[in-house]
Structure 1
Amino acid sequence: MQIKQTAMAGTLESSDIQIMLSQGEKGITFDLTSDVKKQFGDAIKKTIQDVLASYQIDDVMVKVVDKGALTPVIKARAITVVQRAMDQKDQPNWEVL
């Protein structure tokens, strides 16, 4: 599936994460900013990649600013931003949830 528009979800508050998706050209590219990138950067990317895979999105640019979010928060924000980017705000994909 394709990203229809640039979208963002999340805040820059403590214990949250902000994810922005925009159209990509060759695969999934990440720009990750996090104080805990060294310890948890791979886990953050994997959580977001799993959500993207469940929506069959493979060409996207992902910009992430993490402020110490836990995995369920990362997943919720990723699902939200994907639905916004695909313009499916009122039609959630229940199988993904």
Structure 2
Amino acid sequence: MKITESAFAGSLESSDLLVQIEPSSEGGLFIDLESSVEKQFGQAIRKTALDALEKMGVTSARLTLQDKGALDGVIRARIQAAVLRSTGEETIDWSRL
């Protein structure tokens, strides 16, 4: 999937995260993470985010995550929503995810 515009998903409520995705002018995937638990779980959050993007076929994007203690399922769901909003596609093959 090609990221064509900036999009958001999620919130800054407890146990959630705010995701912003935008096209990357450099190519490749870049993740900016802000989290109060980054020292303990930063690597796991980044891995979950990269996995979600790869499963959706995103190869070039800048992802900004503001984490408030979200679990893996929430991270994946918010990234999926942001990707769909940023591509303009209305349907997705959920069996790939």
Runs of 4+ in 1 over 4 A off after TM superposition: none
Partner of 2:66, secondary structure, is: strand
| Alignment gaps of 5+ in structure 1 | none
Q: 2:80 maps to which residue?
A: 79
User: In the TM superposition, what is the alpha-carbon distance from 1:93 to its structure 2 partner?
Assistant: 2.4
Q: 1:18 maps to which residue?
A: 18
Question: Which string of whole-angstrom CA distances, capped at 9 and with x for unpartnered residues, describes residues 18-63 of structure 1?
Answer: 1100001231111100000011111111111111101221111011
Aligned length: 96
Q: Percent identity?
A: 41
Q: 1:66 maps to which residue?
A: 67
| Alignment gaps of 5+ in structure 2 | none
Kindly report which structure 2 residues correspond to 1:1-97, keeping only aligned pairs within 5 A, or say none: 1-24=1-24, 25-88=26-89, 90-97=90-97
RMSD value, Cα: 1.2
Give the TM-score normalised by structure 1: 0.91
Q: Provide the rounded CA distance (Å) in 2 between the counterparts of 1:58 and 1:38.
A: 26
Structure showing the higher helix proportion among its residues:
2
